[in-house]
Structure 1
Amino acid sequence: MRTGLHIWNYTVADGAAIPTVLEESARIAEDGGIDQLTVMDHWFQMEAMGDPAEPMLEAYTTLGFLASVTSRIRLAPLVTGVTYRHPGLLAKTVTTLDVLSRGRAVLGIGAAWYEREHHALGVPYPALKERFERLEEALQIALQMWSTNDGAYEGAHYRLAETLNSPPATSRPHPPIMIGGKGEKKTLRLAAQYAQIVNLTTSDPDQVVHLLEVLRRHCDDVGTDYDAIEKQVMANGLDRSAPDFLPTMQRLGDAGVQLAVFGVRPQTQRETAEEIVRDVVPALAAL
C-alpha cells in the first residue's frame, strides 16, 4: 500500500514561515517515499477542524508552488468543489499544473459542500441536485478539453463556444481524475463512469468494503473497468500508535485499497511529515 500526505491546514507559529514550512514538508514527503501530496481546496478553514479565520491558501497557487520544489510526487487538490471555478477555467488550470509539473497533476473534484464560504465570498451555492449535475458537466468539459475535440460544449448549466486548450496536458491520455466522497447513488456512480482514482472519505474497513462493492456494481452498470480505478481512503482519523493500526490497514489493503492519505497537524506540519515517513511509509509498503 502507498501513502499520501494531505496538507489541510497552514497554521504555523509565525505566519511568515508558511512558505518555508510548506517547502520543507513537501521535500520530506518526496524524499521519504510518499507518493501523493494533496492540499485542501477551501477558502476558509472547515468549521469542524478549526476556526474559519485560520490561514487557508488557494489550492492551485499552492500546488504550483509545491510543483516547483518537488520533482516526483503526484500533486492534487483533495478535492475541488465544482462550484469554485468555471469548469473550462478549471480544466485550463489543471492542464497548466500538469505541464509545469511535467505530468504530475490530478484533477480532484467533488460536488462541494461548505455553504458558509460560498456565501461569504459571493459565490453561488445551488442545491445539491444541481451541484451534482454541474459536477458531471464539469467532468465532461474537462475530458473534452483534454481531447482533440476543441469544438463547442452545450450542457444544461455550462455552454462553451470553444474548448481550445493549448498547450495540451503532459499526462497521457490526460491528468487522472479523482472523485472524492462516499455517496453511493451519485458520487460513486460518477467515479465509476469518469474517474481513474476514487478517494473514499472513510477508513472504516467494513464501510470501505461496502462502498467498493457499490463502486463495482456501478462499473458493471456503465461498462467501465473496476480494477483500473485506484482506490484511496482518508486515514486521518486513525490512531497511528494504536495496536490495531496495522491490522486495520491490512484489512483495507485486502479490500483493495491502494493508497492511504494522512494529514499533517497544525503547528507541526514538518514533524508530522517526518513521522509518517518514518513510521507509516515502510509499514504500509510491507503490507
Structure 2
Amino acid sequence: MEIGLQIPDFGFPGGTAALGRNLAGVARDADDAGFAYLSVMDHFFQIPSVGPSDRPMLEAYTTLGFLAAHTRRAKLFTYVTGAIYRFAREGGHHARRVVRRTGHARHRGPRARLSVSVHLGTTTRDRAGFWTERFSRPPGRGNREGRNQLPGDLGAAAEPGQSSRVVLKRHCEAEGRDYAEITKTVYHYLDIGPAGEKTSGFLAEARRLHGLGVQAVIGPFPGGADQRRIEIFAKDIIPAVKELA
C-alpha cells in the first residue's frame, strides 16, 4: 500500500509573500519522506469544508508544474479535476502540458500523467439553451500506456467496500478494461493527531482498507501539512504500509 498527500489549503504562515517558499518546502519534505502521490484540488475558489472562499487558491495545473520543480519521485495529479467547470479537452491540454514539463521518468513514464483518454464528439444546445459537449472513448482506443498510474477512487473513506468494487468491475467489463491494472485508491484524512498520538489507529485503518482492496490512501493533514507529521509518516507509517503490498 502507498500513501499520498493532498494539499488543499494554501493559507501558509507569512501570507502570499511566503506561499511559494512554504509550498516548495512541503513538497520537498513529502517527496523525501516517501509519499507516493502529491496532489492539489482543481478549484477556482476555496471550498467551505476547507476554509472561506477568499482564502488563497492556486490554479491546479500551474501548481503541478511548480511542484514538479521541487520533487523527484512523487506522482503528481489533481484530486480531482471538475468536469462541471472545465471542458474535457481543456483539461487534457493542461495535463499534457504538465507531462511535457515534468520530464522526470518514474516506472514506465513521466510523473504527471493524463489518466483518462477521451475523444471529442459533438457540441449541441440542450433544451435549456446551454451548450454542451459530448465525449466518448471508442472501443479499443485510447492511451493504455500508464493508465493504471493514477488512481481509480473507490469512494468516500468512511465505508469503501464491496459495492464500490462491484461498480468498478462492472465498468471495466463494459469497457473491456482489465480491473487488475487499475490502482484502487481512497480519499482519507491523514489524521494521526498533532504529535502522532493517533498513529496506531491510522495504521489499523490502513490495514482494514487494504483488506478491502485499497492500494493507496490519499488525503490531507487536518489543519494543513507540517514537517513534524510528515516525519512521523516517513518513520512509522510509510514503511509499515509498504509491507501490506
Q: TM-score with structure 2 length normalisation?
A: 0.77
Count, aligned residues:
219
Kindly indicate whether residue 81 of structure 2 is the aligned counterpart of residue 80 of structure 1.
yes
Deviation at 1:223, TM superposition (A): 3.0
Q: 1:17 to 1:272 in 2, by over 3 A?
A: farther
Change (3 A) 1:8 1:143: same
Q: Distance in 2 between matches of 1:17 and 1:243?
A: 34
Q: Which structure features the higher share of strand residues? A: 2
Matched with 1:50 is 51
Contact persistence 1:6–1:262 (CA under 8 A): yes
Match of 1:250 in 2: 207
Partner of 1:5: 5
**1:238, distance to aligned residue in structure 2 (A):** 5.0
Quick one: which amino acid aligns to residue 31 of structure 2? Answer: E
Pick closer, same or farther for the CA change 1:21–1:237 going to 2, 3 Å: closer
Mark the CA change 1:175 to 1:207 in structure 2 (over 3 Å): closer, same or farther: closer
> Which secondary structure does the structure 1 equivalent of 2:237 belong to?
helix
Q: Where in structure 2 are the equivalents of 1:235-246 lying within 5 Å?
A: 235-236=188-189, 238-239=191-192, 241=198, 243-246=200-203
Q: Secondary structure at the match of 2:160?
A: helix
Kept in 1, the 8 Å contact 2:188–2:218? The answer is yes
1:155 Cα deviation from its structure 2 partner: 5.0
Q: How big is the shift at 1:267?
A: 5.6
- Segments of 5+ residues of structure 1 without an aligned counterpart are 109-138, 145-151, 161-171, 179-195
Whole-angstrom distance in 2 between the partners of 1:85 and 1:175: 23
The one-letter amino acid paired with 2:47 is: M
What's the offset of the Cα at 1:18? 1.1
User: Structure 2 vs 1, CA of residues 212 and 280 (structure 1 numbering), >3 Å: closer, same or farther?
Assistant: same
The one-letter code sitting in structure 2 at the alignment partner of 1:212 is R
Counterpart CA distance in 2 for 1:76 and 1:7 is 11
Q: Distance in 1 between matches of 2:51 and 2:70?
A: 28
**TM-score of the pair, normalised by structure 1:** 0.67
Greater fraction helix: 1
Q: How many percent of aligned residue pairs carry the same amino acid? A: 32
Q: CA deviation at 1:221?
A: 3.7
Which residue is 1:113 aligned to? none
Query: CA offsets per residue over residues 207-262 of structure 1, 9 Å max, x none?
Result: 33331122223323443211111100112075561644322211211221111113
**1:20-31 matches, cutoff 5 A:** 20-31=21-32
The residue that corresponds to 2:14 in the other structure is 14
Q: Secondary structure at the match of 1:20?
A: helix
CA contact (8 A) 1:95 1:175 kept: no
Shift of 1:28: 1.1
1:100 alignment counterpart? 101
Is the contact made by 1:3 and 1:261 (CA closer than 8 Å) also made in structure 2? yes
* Partner residue, 2:129: none
Corresponding letter in the other structure for 1:227 = A
